Structure 1
Amino acid sequence: MRGLMTFLNRMNILMWLLGIFIAHALLYLALGTATWLATSLLATAFYGIILLVGKLVASRYPDKEESR
């Protein structure tokens, strides 16, 4: 559990959101979705909320290296 929290603390949210947006945009373009941009933005916003909440929870766990 501590390893997951350390990963969440150190992850770059902006790069993850950019990757998620690109993946969703390519997916919805390949599927031929007419509203691919709006759908990609909504999916990215949803994952952004999940990642930010995860980062908030992870920030409450002390880092193993900092506690020494």
Structure 2
Amino acid sequence: MIKPDPATIKAMAEITGLPVDDDVAKRIANSIGPAFEGFMPVAGKLPFDLEPSTYVVAQNEAAR
């Protein structure tokens, strides 16, 4: 997981069909950067069974 830079934000926005200008891309990168930095110590270390979309399935299996 890497902290996205404005160029990456701009490219991702264009792919989604919601292009942004350079200033907006820079503001987005600056605003989400701290979240990426906060999660870097655990990036890639959380087990996949913590995926929320499988929670209901796991609960139903446990109830059987």
State whether TM-score is above 0.5: no
TM-score, L = length of structure 2: 0.39
> Which structure has the larger Rg over C-alpha atoms?
2
Higher RCO (Cα < 8 Å, 6 or more apart): 1
TM-score, L = length of structure 1: 0.38
